[in-house]
């Protein structure tokens, strides 16, 4: 399977190489770019099976040693798990530019599978196929901003621990969903802020305490009172 460049090349961080073919006009039926392979040092037209990379070489072989296609059952997940995070983010960003939905892990795996399926059709490796798709979508060439937010499960786990100390119980399902949503929104607002002095999003535990107090103020006050009474009784018992 073709490997993406390690990202040290600023001009071509994904190692996709210099394009050697051009997209037809939008009203022209799509024709895959002609493939050539290097045999004995010479480029030759090729119409047979297999995936050809940007260097006009076969990049993928089946178990019999013949040029083969991607295994759509296993290869999307293998690529997803094998790429370093920075390279995976770059690949997903390019895929999003040409119209793939990559907001969730399931969408990302599905998109990579669809890209590999398209690669099998035109006989090019996934990186070359993605470049071809990009040429056919010039209006989408500018990458959309990508933001990172904490995983919902991680936020909720912290929130529930803080809720126990603040309310004497975990968040209800509705409270948990609202807290996760509000915390992710705070993270997004920080990343989307313009220039100047910007206050970062509070830590999850601080945000959880604030949310718990606002969501159930009576419970928070009662639990705080019970805690004070408990501490008082313990001090009396120690005398």
pLDDT at position 12: 47
Please report, for the chain, the start and end positions of each structural domain, with discontinuous segments joined by +. Answer: 35-140, 152-238
pLDDT along the chain (239 residues), means of 10: 42 45 45 65 73 76 77 89 89 86 90 87 83 62 61 91 90 90 83 67 89 88 65 53
Please list, in sequence order, all residues whose beta carbon lies within 8 angstroms of the beta carbon of residue 172, skipping any fewer than 6 positions away: none
Distance CA 44, CA 37 (A): 5
Distance CA 114, CA 106 (A): 12
pLDDT at position 158: 93
Distance CA 135, CA 177 (A): 41
Residue with tokens 């120690």: 238
Contact at 8 Å (CB) between 32 and 19? no
Of the candidates 233, 209, 31, the residue with the CA atom closest to the CA atom of residue 121: 31
pLDDT at position 145: 58
């Amino acid at each position: 399977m073709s490997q993406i460049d390690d990202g040290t090349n600023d001009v071509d961080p994904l190692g996709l190489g210099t394009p050697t073919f051009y997209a037809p006009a939008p009203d022209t039926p799509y024709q895959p770019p002609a493939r050539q392979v290097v045999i004995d040092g010479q480029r030759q037209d090729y119409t047979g099976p297999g995936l050809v990379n940007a260097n006009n070489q076969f990049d993928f072989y089946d178990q019999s040693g013949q040029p083969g296609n991607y295994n759509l059952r296993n290869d999307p997940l293998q690529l997803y798990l094998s790429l370093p995070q920075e390279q995976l983010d770059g690949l997903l960003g390019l895929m999003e530019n040409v119209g793939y939905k990559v907001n969730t892990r399931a969408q990302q795996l599905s998109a990579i599978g669809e890209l590999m399926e398209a690669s099998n059709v035109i006989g090019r490796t996934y990186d070359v196929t993605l470049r071809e798709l990009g040429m056919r979508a010039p209006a989408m060439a500018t990458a959309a901003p990508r933001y990172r937010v904490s995983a919902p499960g991680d936020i909720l786990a912290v929130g529930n621990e803080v809720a126990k100390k603040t309310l004497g119980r975990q968040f209800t399902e509705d409270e948990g969903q609202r807290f996760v949503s509000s915390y992710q929104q705070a993270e997004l607002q920080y990343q989307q802020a313009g220039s100047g002095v910007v206050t970062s999003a509070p830590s999850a535990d601080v945000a959880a305490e604030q949310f718990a107090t606002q969501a159930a103020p009576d419970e928070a006050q009662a639990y705080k009172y019970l805690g004070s009474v408990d501490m008082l009784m313990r001090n009396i018992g120690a005398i």
